[in-house]
């Protein structure tokens, strides 16, 4: 799907996109092309901008995860959205396809997580350096050997959803790093950033957007009406 078809919202200050799994939000040691690169090229062509194109990266989602990512076209918008994230005013909801049938229909999970930068992985730990991670989930669907969860984050730790769900015995589908039985051929995992809600950085109006999961890959396991499913924990 080309970049224009994946844009969820655009104005003078914001550019919000449905990221594909396997796509980098910004550059890393691999040197692979990034979503930010594609968006800068899109802006440069569409608006005939000379020279360097500004694009602010407000937040990130993991490379194997798909879904909503917010960028800004102005530094003012970036600073104001950064403040909303820091003050936990932004509401994010994910869909997680996990291994096994989760017993509790809904629950709130709280763990202390420690990030290992060398291994690019987080662990549940009681060391002084660990940080509190909190999420809530609700089971949306159970099928075959999987459960589909709506997950709402209260904190934003490194690999938080992946680590916490693995800790309770239900790793995200395809996430071999956190104990899934097998990976996916395309290296994606069953985690999708489904929606985000915040206040517009200049207009102050509420912005609430959702993104459909990928049409290909493991999401065929989800119920047929999933595209129309708007159930999120912060509705």
Give the per-residue pLDDT at 228: 41
pLDDT of residue 221 exceeding 80: no
Residue 173: which pLDDT band, with cuts at 50, 70 and 90? very high
**Which residues does the annotation mark as catalytic?**
62
Domain limits, the chain: 3-228
Query: Would you give the end-to-end CA distance of the chain in angstroms?
Result: 29
pLDDT in tens, 29-64: 888 999 999 999 999 999 999 999 999 999 999 999
Residues in the chain: 235
Q: Which two tokens stand for residue 154?
A: 């209260």
What is residue 173's three-state secondary structure?
coil
Cα separation, 74 vs 208, whole angstroms:
20
What topology does CATH give the domain 3-228? Pseudouridine synthase (3.30.2350)
Residue 224: which pLDDT band, with cuts at 50, 70 and 90? low
pLDDT in tens, 107-137: 999 999 999 999 999 999 999 999 999 999 9
CB 113, CB 133: distance < 8 Å: yes
Q: Given the structure tokens 């709402």, which residue do they identify?
A: 152
Give the per-residue pLDDT at 1: 65
pLDDT of residue 217 exceeding 80: no
């Amino acid at each position: 799907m080309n970049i224009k078809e994946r844009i969820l919202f655009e104005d003078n200050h914001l550019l919000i996109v449905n990221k594909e799994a396997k796509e980098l939000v910004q550059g890393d040691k691999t040197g692979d092309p990034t979503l930010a690169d594609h968006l800068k090229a899109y802006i440069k062509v569409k608006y005939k901008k000379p020279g360097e194109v500004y694009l602010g990266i407000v937040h990130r989602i993991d490379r194997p995860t798909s879904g909503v990512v917010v960028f800004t076209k102005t530094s003012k918008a970036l600073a104001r959205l950064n403040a909303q994230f820091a003050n936990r005013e932004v509401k994010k909801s994910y869909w997680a396809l996990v291994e096994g049938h989760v017993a509790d229909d809904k629950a709130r999970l709280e763990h202390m997580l420690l990030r290992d930068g060398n291994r690019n992985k987080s662990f549940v730990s009681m060391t002084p350096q660990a940080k509190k991670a909190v999420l809530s989930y609700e089971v949306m669907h159970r099928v075959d050997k999987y459960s589909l969860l709506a997950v709402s984050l209260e904190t934003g730790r490194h690999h938080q959803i992946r680590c916490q769900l693995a800790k309770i015995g239900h790793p995200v589908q395809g996430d071999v790093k956190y104990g899934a039985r097998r990976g996916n051929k395309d290296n994606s995992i069953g985690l999708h950033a489904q929606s985000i809600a915040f206040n517009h950085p200049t207009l102050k109006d509420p912005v609430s957007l959702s993104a459909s999961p990928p049409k290909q890959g493991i999401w065929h396991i989800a119920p047929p009406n999933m595209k129309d499913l708007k159930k999120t924990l912060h509705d």
